[in-house]
Chains A and B, each alone.
Chain A
Amino acid sequence: MRTTALLGPAAGQGAVQLMHGKVVLAVINDQSGVYADIGGKHGVEAVKMAVEDFVKKYGPNAVGGPIEVLSADHQNKPDVGASKAAEFYDRNNANAVIDVPTSSVGIAIAHVAAQKHRLFLNVGAATKALTNEDCNKYTFHWAYDTYMLAHGTGTEVTKRIGKKWYVVYPNYAYGQDMNRSFSAAIEKAGGKVMLSDATPFPNETEDFSTFLIKARTLRPGGVTVLGAMQAGQDLTNLVKQFNEFGLRQQGINLAIGLLFISDIHSLTPAALEGTIYTTAWEWNLDKQAREWSDRFFARDKTRPSFTVAGNYSATWQYLEAVRRTGTDDPDKIVAALEGYKFNDFFVRNGEVRKQDHAVIHDAYLAQVKAPGDVKEPWDYVRILNTIPANEAFQPLSENTCHMAR
């Protein structure tokens, strides 16, 4: 928990009425573990950048008081994350908690937000539980979810590459959800999951050989796709071992549930050539995205993953909502966000769905380029097609959120 930015003038002069004289945004994410590279400090940086840009655009009195950014490392432990969140809300009067990768931690913090009646803008956690059984009035889900990933990748890979799958998933909320979502999407597309295995999370041994050997033994049974649902450091370990075992040469294709640009960067495109996956955004998607990414690169020296960009978008839209409503009263902000339609450098055709608080927007089916096609550093991805917002996310008819009924 550190104060990382303090901007703006003394409180209480503008048209905006703040409850505690300032706006406090708390970023909680993994800053030391397997998910540190996909968000971590970069995610905090994006929130700080959004705050600075916002003040630049609307002047120092943008929200009627200073805007403070706090951050904490949740170590991928639900109890640590929930304690930190409660502390930020109670002691620091945090208006919103932002980011929170690792679905188990995200769900824990959603419960804290509901109890404290404060906002939780989730970007990093993928589980669709946040907009289904664990949904609540104060929790919003930005960027992506397991439905989006499974619906895009599961369907496409089943059609293009192979019908019989072996799925390995990390054994916690996110992985369990990915396993269920992928199985549903694969079956809908006419394929079948022959077997699925849970791997330890976080995988302290960094060893996936048991599962890779198992994949090989399933090959005679017609399994041609290994669906890996790991993310971050776990995924890079798994892919390295997959290549060492030479499984591709033995007729096993690798399908990846969740892939970030930082993963491709650390593995190199050669290790992932041709991999088809679903993404919420890419840094060089278009001119607008690229312009923002260049500015981010100038301060962070990395190309942003889509959750990093999502943090910026969530922060920006939150601050906009404070300006629109003239208050930081959480209930009024919720009302202002519900049903709100918007576009920014990250979100295209976006809408904050009132019924379940999913922020739906266009998603993209992408493919990792061959090393020969890479034109510049970090240029690893080709967008195959756009998945329109209303198809990319879970239809409301399937939604189990109590607010949707």
Chain B
Amino acid sequence: MARRIGWAALLAAGLLLPMRVYPVLAADILAWALFATAFDIMLGYTGLLSFGQAAFFGGGAYTAGLLTQRLGVPYPLNALAAALAAGLLALPLMGLAIRRRGIYLAMITLAFGQMVFYVVNEWRSLTGGENGVQGIPRPALGGVDISSSTAYYYAAFPLAVLGLLLCWRIVRSPFGRVLLAIRENDVRTETLGYAVHRYKLLAAVLSCALSGLAGGIWVINHGFVALDAVHWTTSGLVVIMVLLGGMGTRLGPLVGAALVLLLRDFISTWTDAWGVVTGTIFILVILIFRQGIVGTIERLLEARTRPAPAPAPAVEEVASPHRS
């Protein structure tokens, strides 16, 4: 019951968000929350630390932006096309990257991210190079007017929620359980007869496709996209969001994304050095609450309910952050 009330409150908060904060920022939170949650499928549930996620977020953003600007593809088809493009891009890149683990995987994905950055920078006739893609219109399927920021927020909301539900469904499915096993010990998982490589690849491709969807939602929100979207700092930011909120928790990435964006917005009204403040908070969280904000709260709640026979479903138990 309490759980249901919690979800209803979260949904209500989502629906009321643009009345409390600047709608453009609110839609940014949707996009980044989806991006971070999608990335957590790889980072928190499969143990794949990628430093090149900007390639898929930005790749999706460029795809949606160009399709809308040049061919007039309406929302939400442009955002869905972004997901498809990012997924297709992930297939070869991640197919190669997941052959390695740990720091090697991080370096390979970083290198892929940089390669995508340089391609986007040099392919000027398509991407506009340094100038980016400017003046992307905002047509919608069925001629619905979503040109105001608030209208767009409510148009983006169902798509982002659908994306989030899909992320949560993936990690709680039997498939997700295998991913957890891979995260804990991939050699043992393989000996149990699972095709670890294929599981990793599917997880990565799904994660990247949903990151592309987030990029699509983001680009239509702003009406332009430039090199920053594919820059490595974007890859870094999403890692920070996930760690801050708590990796391997259901709401952690969402909380992390909202927190970083709201902090940035709040701090940048009086200083441009917002990175110093968010950086300090990040370091403190990592030093003191290693499981991130949501991870720590979950653990405290768990400790409190432990004396009674645990009512939480088993999945919840496995989904809590790993403690090695």
Contacts and interface: CB of A to CB of B under 8 A. Distances in A.
Given A73-B272, A107-B134, A173-B131, A79 B22 contact: no
Interface string B250-273: 000000000000000000111010
A3 B129 CA distance: 34
A107 B130 CA distance: 12
A104 B229 CA distance: 16
Interface residues of B, number: 21
Contacts of A172: 129-131
Contacts of B32: none
B62 interface: no
A171 interface: yes
B190 interface: no
3 smallest A-B Cβ distances: which pairs? A172-B130, A111-B135, A104-B131
A361 B81 CA distance: 48
A237 B29 CA distance: 41
B270 A2 contact: yes
Nearest to A173: B131
Interface in B189-245: 222-229
Contact of A78 (B226, B268, B269, B270): B226
B224 A82 contact: yes
B24 A201 contact: no
B278 interface: no
B24 A87 contact: yes
Given A82-B222, A114-B135, 7 more contacts: A78-B132, A83-B222, A90-B24, A90-B149, A91-B22, A111-B134, A172-B131
Interface in B5-27: 22, 24
A86 B24 contact: yes
Interface in A191-230: 201
8 contacts: A73-B272, A77-B228, A78-B134, A78-B226, A90-B149, A103-B131, A114-B135, A171-B129
Contacts of A115: 135, 223
Contacts of B224: 78-79, 82, 108, 111
A1 interface: yes
A173 B226 CA distance: 13
Contacts of B229: 79
Interface string A79-115: 1101100110011000000000001100110011011
Interface of A: 1-2, 32, 73, 77-80, 82-83, 86-87, 90-91, 103-104, 107-108, 111-112, 114-115, 134, 171-173, 201
A178 to B, nearest CB: 14
B134 A108 contact: yes
A139 B314 CA distance: 60
Which of A32, A82, A134 has the most chain B CB within a 10 Å cutoff? A82
B269 A173 contact: no
A86 B129 CA distance: 22
Contacts, number: 65
Interface string B44-82: 000000000000000000000000000000000000000
A108 B128 CA distance: 12
Contacts of A87: 22, 24
A111 B22 CA distance: 20
Given A77-B228, A79-B224, A115-B223, A1 B129 contact: no
Nearest to A115: B223
Contacts of B131: 78, 103-104, 107, 172-173
Contacts of A173: 130-131
A103 B228 CA distance: 17
Nearest to B25: A87
Contacts of A108: 132, 134, 224, 226
Contacts of A79: 132, 222, 224-226, 228-229
Nearest to A172: B130
B30 to A, nearest CB: 16
A112 B268 CA distance: 20
A129 B324 CA distance: 58
A76 to B, nearest CB: 9
Which of B131, B132, B269 has the most chain A CB within a 10 Å cutoff? B131
Which of B22, B225, B272 has the most chain A CB within a 10 Å cutoff? B272
Nearest to B28: A83
B114 to A, nearest CB: 14
A134 B134 CA distance: 10
Nearest to A31: B272
B226 A77 contact: yes
Contacts of B149: 90
A172 B128 CA distance: 9
A142 to B, nearest CB: 21
Nearest to B228: A79
A83 B22 CA distance: 12
A90 to B, nearest CB: 7
B268 to A, nearest CB: 7
Nearest to B22: A91
Nearest to B270: A2
B231 to A, nearest CB: 10
A35 to B, nearest CB: 14
A87 B222 CA distance: 11
A115 to B, nearest CB: 7
Which of B24, B135, B272 has the most chain A CB within a 10 Å cutoff? B135
Nearest to B137: A115
A86 B152 CA distance: 15
Nearest to B135: A111
A103 B269 CA distance: 25
A172 B121 CA distance: 10
Contacts of A82: 222-224
A61 to B, nearest CB: 29
B234 to A, nearest CB: 11
Contacts of B134: 78, 107-108, 111, 134
B24 A171 contact: no
Contacts of A107: 131, 134
Contact of A1 (B222, B223, B226, B269): B269
B269 A104 contact: no
A104 B132 contact: yes
A120 B22 CA distance: 22
A1 B268 contact: yes
Contacts of B226: 77-79, 104, 108
